[in-house]
Amino acid sequence: MSLVLLIDFGSTYTKVTAVDRKARALLGTAAAYTTVATDINEGLEKALADLQAMLPATVDLKNIQRFACSSAAGGLRMVTSGLVPALTAEAARLASLGAGAKVVKVFSYELTEEDIEEIDSLRPDIFLLTGGTDGGNKACSLHNAAMLARCKSEFPILIAGNRSCAKECEALLAGREIYRCENVMPRMNQLNIEPVQNKIREIFLHKIIRAKGLSQARELISGILMPTPAALMAAMELLAKGTASQEGLGDLMAVDLGGATTDVYSMAQGLPQSEDTVMKGLPEPYAKRTVEGDIGMRYSAGGILAAAGADKLAALSGLSPGEVEELVEYVTSHTDVLPQSPESDPRLGPLDFALAAAAVETAVTRHAGSLEQIYTPMGLSYIQTGKDLRDIKQLVATGGAIIHTENTAAIINRALYSRDNPFSLKPKKVNVFIDRRYILAAMGLLADKDPDCALAIMREELEFHGA
């Protein structure tokens, strides 16, 4: 079938995109408020009606193939545990983020009674239990499995640690919903996160959708394929690498600025650029995602204020620090307010610019690597933590506060290297591509079925801005 409908059940909006695969063309997009609290079909049907009204009468959206992703009802919430914070615990975090999850807590070493109480209060969608290389430490994983068995709440547990004790962990967790996978770090400093990511996606498909109320929409779609951040990740990897018949853009970074979180993606190896620099910690995955759960334009506006400070937001907005604090409190409790509304406070426009600029700067700084000077008998050297992204030439931006403003360039500029923070390894100079029509998640879905079509549409539709 040539026509396909791509659906993104977002936490705020349900977005629908119609594509003609044969023509490799975008037919139209529309959005409506997500109605997961009542019946998710209501928002979907409203978006479909709006989209149908834009299309020729010959296109019937009721009779075409449909695929969907979702971050509705909080998305995929995960808690992970590992042995050493910088090793297996970090490997577990990277695996979860790369699968499209929101990691709400990472535990290291042995779980305590207080940790179990916190896990019960967090009520994760999936718990990822890791720890130890294959044939290495078993005690931590066995202790944590025994502790998890005492949790009062029910959630799937994915065991992906030392294979030598995986069966014993299963026995300790008997009666719970358990899945086993390959170790996320089978040998010291060796990541093996793709099998875990595939298993997380499988659990999402078969278990989490029902818990989120999305099973109500099953009869209207061919399948919910992945969490929305995983769709974004697939789109970015396709855009960077290309296909056998189409060239990609090469190494790139993407920023998705939302109301509750800010996600940053990088498609690059990010290795040290000079002989006097050595890497610290685990090797970085080529396709990396970080999510800043405390940084967002509405629900997490207070997190931006805490990270940047009232004085910085005041300088960016032209408001006083007192006005900034007052307005941040207001938008946090009125998450649906938009500066474009006629009845809105005129100060909201400058505030939103300041929040967006500070959010992008904070999130990209956290995502990018950094350098630390050290003095050795051979002279001055450097330790690199994370990815060196200074030579990335392409940056993709999406999110309402970025695409619905005339200040896009000024906001994106905060993602770049600054002499104010000389040891941050952020990009120095980039071409910018803006996702004005919110198509990236849809193209990530399409990439699984028709990568050439998805890439062609992205190259056509993303709004290009030179360096």
Give 220's pLDDT tier (boundaries 50, 70, 90).
low
Above 60 in pLDDT, residue 388? yes
Above 90 in pLDDT, residue 218? no
Above 70 in pLDDT, residue 4? yes
φ, ψ dihedrals at 110, nearest 5°:
-85, 135
Give 426's pLDDT tier (boundaries 50, 70, 90).
very high
| Amino acid in the structure at residue 192 | N
Residues 18-39, mean pLDDT to the nearest whole number: 85
Above 60 in pLDDT, residue 182? yes
Above 70 in pLDDT, residue 349? yes
Write down the pLDDT at residue 75.
65
**Which residues have a Cβ under 8 Å from the Cβ of 200 and sit 6 or more positions away?**
76, 78, 95, 96, 99, 100, 101, 126, 128, 158
Above 90 in pLDDT, residue 232? yes
Instruction: Give the neighbor-by-neighbor strand order of the sheet with 157-159.
Output: 102-108, 77-82, 126-129, 157-159, 178-180
pLDDT tens-digit map of 355-369? 999 999 999 999 999
Give 190's pLDDT tier (boundaries 50, 70, 90).
confident
Write down the pLDDT at residue 373.
93
Write down the pLDDT at residue 173.
94
Q: Picking from 47-56, 206-215, 417-426, which range would have the lowest pLDDT averaged per residue?
A: 206-215
Supply the DSSP symbol for 99: T
Write down the pLDDT at residue 406.
83
Q: How far is CA 240 from CA 98, 186, 193, 248, 460, in A?
A: 16, 29, 20, 5, 15
431-434/463-465 β-pairing: antiparallel
Above 70 in pLDDT, residue 202? yes
Above 90 in pLDDT, residue 338? no
Give 320's pLDDT tier (boundaries 50, 70, 90).
very high
Residues 366-387, mean pLDDT to the nearest whole number: 91
Give 418's pLDDT tier (boundaries 50, 70, 90).
very high
Superfamily of domain 76-207: Response regulator (3.40.50.2300)
Q: Picking from 97-106, 265-274, 288-297, which range would have the lowest pLDDT averaged per residue?
A: 97-106
Give 298's pLDDT tier (boundaries 50, 70, 90).
confident
H or E element: which one contains 26?
strand 25-33
**Which residues have a Cβ under 8 Å from the Cβ of 426 and sit 6 or more positions away?**
364, 365, 368, 389, 390, 415, 416, 417, 418
Supply the DSSP symbol for 36: T
Average pLDDT over all residues of the chain = 89
Write down the pLDDT at residue 31.
87
Above 80 in pLDDT, residue 34? no
φ, ψ dihedrals at 275, nearest 5°:
-70, -20
Percent of the chain with pLDDT over 70: 93
Domain ranges (residues) in the chain:
3-72+215-222, 76-207, 238-297+348-465
H or E element: which one contains 128?
strand 126-129
Q: Picking from 205-219, 349-363, 403-417, which range would have the lowest pLDDT averaged per residue?
A: 205-219
More confident residue, 186 or 226: 186
Q: Picking from 32-41, 222-231, 296-305, which range would have the lowest pLDDT averaged per residue?
A: 32-41
pLDDT tens-digit map of 50-79? 999 999 888 888 888 888 887 765 567 889
Residues 182-199, mean pLDDT to the nearest whole number: 89
Give 37's pLDDT tier (boundaries 50, 70, 90).
low
CA–CA separation, 286 vs 265, rounded Å? 10
Write down the pLDDT at residue 215.
56
pTM of the entire structure?
0.85
Write down the pLDDT at residue 88.
81
Q: Picking from 97-106, 265-274, 443-452, which range would have the lowest pLDDT averaged per residue?
A: 97-106
CATH architecture type of domain 3-72+215-222 = 2-Layer Sandwich (3.30)
